[in-house]
A = this chain, B = another copy of it.
Amino acid sequence: MLSFIVRSALTKNRGLWHLGCSAVRAMSSSGPTPPFTTLSISHPKESITHVELHRPEKRNAMNKAFWSEMVDCFNQISGDPDCRVVVVSGAGKIFTAGIDLMDMASDVLQPEGDDTARISWNMRKIITKYQETFTVIERCPKPVLVAVHGACVGGGVDLITACDIRLCTQDAWFQVKEVDIGLAADVGTLQRLPKVIGSRSLVNELALTARRMYADEAKSSGLVSRVFADKEAMMAGALEMAGEIAGRSPVAVQGTKVNLIYSRDHSVAEGLDYMATWNMAMLQTQDVMKSAQASMEKKSPKTVAFSKL
Q: Which residues of the partner chain B approach A286 to less than 8 Å between Cβ atoms? A: 114-115
Say whether, besides A180-B301, A184-B279, A292-B181, A1 and B205 are in contact (CB < 8 Å): no
Supposing A191-B275, A255-B183 touch, asked if A123 and B1 sit within 8 A by C-beta, the answer is: no
A167 to chain B, nearest CB (A): 8
Residue A202 at the B interface, CB < 8 A?
A: yes
Chain B residues whose C-beta falls within 8 Å of the C-beta of A285 in the assembled complex: 115-118, 182-183
By a CB distance below 8 angstroms, the chain B residues around A65 are none
A4 touches B182 (CB 8 A): no
Q: Are A275 and B184 in contact (CB under 8 A)?
A: yes
Among residues of B, the one whose C-beta sits closest to the C-beta of A267 is: B265
The interface stretch among A13-21, A26-34, A41-49, A245-253 is A245-253
Interface check A208, CB cutoff 8 A: yes
Contact with B along A284-309 (1 / 0, CB 8 A): 11111111100110000100000111
Chain A interface size range: 35 or more
Binds B, one of A55-63, A193-201, A228-236: A193-201
Residues of B within 8 A of A256 (CB): 178-179, 184-185, 190, 207-208
Q: Which of A135, A259, A275, A296 has the most chain B CB atoms inside 10 A of its CB? A: A275
A186 to chain B, nearest CB (A): 5
List, in ascending order, chain B residues with CB within 8 A of A123's CB.
279-281, 283-284
Does A133 sit within 8 A of B, measured CB to CB?
yes
Contact of A6 among B2, B108, B128, B259 (CB under 8 A): B2
Whether A184 contacts B278 by the Cβ 8 Å rule is: yes
With A181-B291, A184-B279, A198-B222 given, can you name 18 additional A-B contacts, CB distance below 8 Å?
A2-B132, A115-B286, A117-B285, A119-B284, A127-B280, A127-B283, A131-B272, A165-B205, A166-B201, A182-B290, A182-B291, A182-B301, A188-B272, A196-B199, A203-B260, A208-B245, A208-B253, A280-B281
